[in-house]
Chains A and B, each alone.
Chain A
Amino acid sequence: MIIRSKKASDISSSEITPSEIYLGRRRFIRDAGLGLATLALGGAALPNEITAQSQEIPPRFRNLKSELGEELNSYRDITTYNNFYEFGTDKRDPSRNSDEFEPQPWTISIEGHVNKPGNYELDDILAPVTMEDRIYRLRCVEAWSMVIPWYGFPLAELIKRVEPTGNAKFVRFETVYRPEQMPYQKTGVLPWPYVEGLRIDEAMHPLTTLVTGIYGTELPNQNGAPLRLIIPWKYGFKGIKSIVKIEFVEEMPTNTWKMANSFEYGFYSNVNPEVSHPRWSQARERRLPSLFKSHETLMFNGYAEEVSHLYAGMDLHRWK
């Protein structure tokens, strides 16, 4: 299993490592400078990007590698290179345009074929679960990838608590719609709000994770605060961000990218080196920060052993 799980108790408070080790010296100097400037201004609110950077990264991440011996991407890479079209279509836009976004307080509406529907406070959802670090490869449909230490818990735990009925064949997720805080929701770049979906067995799979953090620290706005989904064997866009609605439905939901372009994007969107995107090959990827697009893409992003049984008998060229 490519799940690395650590308990919060593993952190010894005596060995908290200063963030400059993770952030890189230049970044640290910049942040320190900004911090001083802020002090001079009498402690005006820091932009989200900076406060997130200033969070202390727990020492358990030192020299940590994924099960395949892959280096983790830096906190900075993970938080400044994002596809989150609600905040802009350039990779840097989310980290620049998400300062106004307010991830607290947060309520999630659980609807559809469940015995316990209702509006759940995020704190109540998180109270009984055990959070764990999960180092997954993130493979974007654009053929780049990163290795990211997410912090979260299995979606299955939440699903079990709300007791889906026999009619719940699929799970439909929705991102918050707040055009005043998410500037690109005022444009027609994509149909808003963003929608994603999973088959119920995909949703119940132990690799499917609800994420609230990275590097053991709070999820920054640009990464989908306060709660997002990660399905490591699927292309990154399946990992819907800033979730406000989880609906249990009978019919296969139409996800946003499929809605925008059904010729290019499907419902399943499993990482598959043999099935090209109509416009580019998926056989190789650029494992950032590498400059070369020379990393071979693995079937189901390397999680074939864990998930291929979900698709037994399915023609994956057809079910994209």
Chain B
Amino acid sequence: MAMPRKFLTFTPGWTFTAGSKLHSTIGSNIVIQKHQILVCKIAIWIAALSPGSWLVAGLFLGWLGPNPIETLTHITGMTTLVLLLVTLSITPLRRITGWNGAIRLRRPLGLFAFFYALIHFNIWFVFDQVFNWRWMVEDIIERPYITVGFSAFIILIPLALTSTKGWMRRLGVRWTKIHRGIYLAATLGVIHYYWLVKADVRLPLLLAFFLSLLLVYRVPGWLKKRRRTIARPQGSDIT
């Protein structure tokens, strides 16, 4: 889908290994961009599937310990949160490096985050709630950490369903608005983690720190856009 692209005025060292002569024509830039995106996507697939593969292998080879469900729950939950944060770092990465191709990594990252959230939820439903709807509803209502975790999961569902190009086109400006739900989902997810640990809150706090960096980074953009929207109501772009 090679869109006409302006010559990149700023390209960071790490995205181009062979130096400045590659910048000589627009054409070679696009070829290299495609190549980069492919490499990045492969890396994302490998990285995102590795916790899952480790868990599946561990389940059969018995290295998840005496309480494998606890290990499965923790690791799928943790992976979801990390992937949500990585998804949220695409926009800053793009802005800071000027590498617009990074936007194409956002969907696979977000979908992998949802994939792990889905497994996380199902482990809880099957092994902790033992398919009992009544117990499940009780827990969702009575336990705040479950209420927020479950809400985060529910918010992610429409995001995953509307992640395709078709839905992007159909929803237009609304797509962007719906997908801002990730800010809320990630925040609720981190609160969920913070509320469930017994005493050692260091890891949840670390995630909260990164999340707040990623959110604070966006604040100036939102303020600017608000000013612009007041002046010119229909304006909106993806942040």
Taking Cβ atoms with an 8 Å cutoff, the residues of A that contact B are 26, 73-74, 76-77, 80-81, 85, 89, 91-92, 142, 144, 146, 189-190, 260-261, 276, 279-281, 284, 286, 288-289, 291-294
Interface residues of B in 162-196 (CB under 8 A from A): 195-196
Instruction: Report B69 CB to chain A, min CB distance, Å.
Output: 5
Ranked 8 nearest A-B pairs via Cβ: A77-B66, A89-B200, A81-B66, A294-B130, A293-B128, A189-B200, A288-B66, A292-B130
A89-B199, A189-B200 given; A286·B130 CB < 8 A: no
Cβ-based interface call for B144 (8 A): yes
Q: Is B145 an interface residue (CB 8 A)?
A: yes
- Min CB distance B73 to A, Å, is 11
Nearest CB in chain A: distance from B39 CB, A: 34
Residues of A within 8 A of B144 (CB): 279
How many residues of chain B get a CB closer than 8 Å to chain A's CBs? 23
Tell me the minimal C-beta distance from B71 to chain A in angstroms: 9
Docked complex Cα distance between A113 and B139 (Å): 46
A291 to B70 alpha-carbon distance, docked (Å): 9
The complex places the Cα of A280 from the Cα of B128 at a distance, in Å, of 11
Q: Determine whether the beta carbon of B65 is less than 8 Å from that of A85.
A: no
In the bound assembly, the distance between CA atoms of A279 and B148 in angstroms comes to: 12
Taking a contact as CB atoms closer than 8 A, the residue among A26, A80, A91, A291 that contacts B69 in the complex is: A291
Chain A residues with CB below 8 A from B198, complex form: 89, 142
Q: Is B127 in contact with chain A by the CB < 8 A criterion?
A: yes
With contact pairs A89-B199, A279-B145, A279-B196 given, residues A80 and B128 touching in the complex (Cβ less than 8 Å): no
CA distance A284 to B69 in the complex (A): 15
Q: With A279-B143, A279-B145 given, is the CB distance from A190 to B199 under 8 Å?
A: yes
Report A269 CB to chain B, min CB distance, Å. 14
A91–B70 touching, CB < 8 Å: yes
Chain B, Cβ-Cβ closest to A77:
B66
A92 touches B127 (CB 8 A): no
How many Å from the CB of A247 to the closest CB on chain B? 24
Are A91's CB and B128's CB within 8 A? no
Q: Does B62 touch A at the CB level, under 8 Å?
A: yes
Q: Is the C-beta of B20 less than 8 angstroms from some C-beta in chain A? A: no
Q: Which A residues are in CB contact (< 8 Å) with B62?
A: 26
16 contacts between A and B (CB under 8 A): A74-B66, A89-B198, A89-B199, A91-B65, A91-B67, A146-B66, A260-B199, A276-B142, A279-B196, A284-B135, A289-B67, A291-B68, A292-B127, A293-B127, A293-B128, A294-B130
Q: Which residues of A contact B69 (CB under 8 A)?
A: 286, 291, 293
How far in angstroms is the closest Cβ of chain A from B42? 32
- Give A142's nearest chain B residue, CB to CB: B198
Separation of A142 and B74 alpha carbons in the complex (Å): 14
* Distance between Cα atoms of A289 and B68 in the complex (Å): 8
Contacting A291 at CB < 8 Å: which of B127, B142, B143? B127
Contact A80 B196 (CB under 8 A): no
Interface string of B49-77 (1 = CB under 8 A from A): 00000000000001001111110000000
Chain B residue at smallest Cβ distance from A81: B66
* Distance in angstroms between the alpha carbons of A294 and B126 in the assembled complex: 11
Shortest beta-carbon distance from A1 to chain B in Å? 28
For chain B, residues 3 to 45, give those with C-beta under 8 angstroms from any C-beta of chain A.
none
Contacting residue for A144 out of B67, B129, B145, CB 8 A: B67
A280 partner residues in chain B, CB cutoff 8 A: 139, 143
Cβ-closest chain B residue relative to A89: B200
